[in-house]
Amino acid sequence: MGKILTIVVPTYNAEKYLRDNLESFDIPELLQDIEVLIINDGSTDHSVDIAREYEARYPDTYRVITKGNGGHGSGINCGIAHARGTYFKVVDADDWVGKDAFVSLVKTLKATDADVVYSGFLWTYDHGEADKAAFQTKAEIAIPFEGVAYQKIYPFDEIADKLYMKMHNMTIKTEILRGHQIQIDEHCYYVDTEYITYPIPYVNTICFVDAFVYYYRLGREGQSVGMDKMQKNEQNYDKVLASLLHFYQQLGQEIPCTQARKQYIARIIARVIAGKFKIMLSFPPSAEKKQQMKQYDKHLKEQYRDIYDSNINKAVLLLRKTQYHTYYLANMLVRRTYW
């Protein structure tokens, strides 16, 4: 019997969290419908031993694939190559899914033919509590958009201007990824945005599940979204941004794309650029850094006007409105917030 869903778990030295992740998929009524690919990305801890336990217990559901270290994007690429499910979802090794919500997602996948199925996620703050049930949670996006009809299949272009979809929200047809040879940058952080952006030109339909499926763990030591890590890995961030801008230039030319989807992609990239501004503002203030920001913004306005105009970040809007006279104030606020 074919699998309706492949869950890909890119795994690198995640022994502290991996059991929670894999256990969350151990739902007897779903085991025949799903496969869980644990992509062991050259781990040197006991991650692969934990993964093998589940593979031995449920060989028709859990599968371990070991490869050399290539980063998060490499794990996704490997998952795309090996997936056997009709749909495809990435769940990072330190995250997990909620049982009832996950059951609802799988039931929807079995009943729909939408290219993408969108479900909710919760920020989950890990402050070291022994029981995950004690973690504080918060929905970044409470509803997909005002007036959404759950389970209805929408033409993507019809609601693209209302929508923002993160990796944690997205379950997508495997054939879209494999058939269009979607490839994510390897040996690089911050590639989630590539994964949610590159398939969009080929997404014609979407439906929505009224459930918070994904628990996104925040607060763990060494997380790449911490500001100290983002400063250290600024070149990685810039590499991803450059890849996204190159992709954007191809839309409507080498890559067929409707105007609605191109505008949706412009809004995604505008959010990534706001993140770049946040990183630049997190460094000690200087006239040189201020000038770099102004020059970058000028280049963006001249070369990528649609992306420039798609910005909704208040700090970036204020910097532009004041011709960067508020640079030092913005710098102080960012550094006070993140340090």
Predicted confidence (pLDDT) per residue in 8-27, tens digit: 999 999 999 999 999 999 99
Domain of residue 331 covers 227-338
Q: State pLDDT tens for residues 37-85.
A: 999 999 999 999 999 999 999 999 999 999 999 999 999 999 999 999 9
Domain co-membership, 163 together with 242: no
Q: Please tell me the distance from the alpha carbon of residue 194 to that of residue 198, in angstroms, as a whole number.
A: 6
Residues whose CB is less than 8 angstroms from the CB of residue 170 and which lie 6 or more positions away in sequence, other chains included: 89, 116, 118, 196
Distance of CA 233 to the CA centre of its chain: 17
Q: Which of 161, 187, 218 is the last residue before a domain boundary?
A: 218
> Residue 219: its pLDDT value, please?
78
Domain co-membership, 162 together with 293: no
Domain co-membership, 236 together with 207: no
Q: State pLDDT tens for residues 115-171.
A: 999 999 999 999 888 888 899 999 999 999 999 999 999 999 999 999 999 999 999
Percent of the chain's residues with pLDDT above 90: 90
Domain co-membership, 107 together with 207: yes
Domain co-membership, 176 together with 316: no
User: Do residues 231 and 272 make contact, with C-beta atoms less than 8 angstroms apart?
Assistant: no
Domain co-membership, 87 together with 192: yes
Distance of CA 277 to the CA centre of its chain: 19
Domain co-membership, 165 together with 257: no
How many CB atoms within 10 Å of residue 128?
A: 9
What are the φ and ψ backbone dihedral angles of 170, each rounded to 5 degrees? Answer: -95, 130
Q: Which of 192, 218, 244 is the last residue before a domain boundary?
A: 218
Q: Provide the token pair at 320.
A: 């532009």
> Residue 131: its pLDDT value, please?
87
Residues whose CB is less than 8 angstroms from the CB of residue 140 and which lie 6 or more positions away in sequence, other chains included: 121, 123, 166
Considering Cα of 155, then 207, then 91, then 81, what sign does the dihedral take? negative
Query: How would you class 274 by CB atoms within 10 Å of its CB: exposed for 0-12, middle for 13-18, buried for 19 or more?
Result: middle
Q: Provide the token pair at 87.
A: 């749909």
Above 80 in pLDDT, residue 202?
A: yes
H-helix or E-strand spanning residue 189? none
Domain co-membership, 148 together with 14: yes
Q: Provide the token pair at 208.
A: 């929505």
Q: State pLDDT tens for residues 241-298.
A: 999 999 999 999 999 999 999 999 999 999 999 999 999 999 999 999 999 999 999 9
> Residue 228: its pLDDT value, please?
77
pTM (predicted TM-score) = 0.94
Number of domain units in the chain: 2
pLDDT band at 339 (very low <50, low <70, confident <90, very high): low
Q: Which of 218, 241, 260 is the last residue before a domain boundary?
A: 218
CATH code, 126: 3.90.550.10
Q: Please tell me the distance from the alpha carbon of residue 96 to that of residue 149, in angstroms, as a whole number.
A: 26
Strands 170-173 and 87-90, bridge-based pairing: antiparallel
Domain co-membership, 211 together with 260: no
Q: How crowded is the C-beta side of 236, counted as CA atoms within 13 Å? A: 21
Domain co-membership, 275 together with 209: no
Domain co-membership, 96 together with 133: yes
Domain co-membership, 23 together with 85: yes
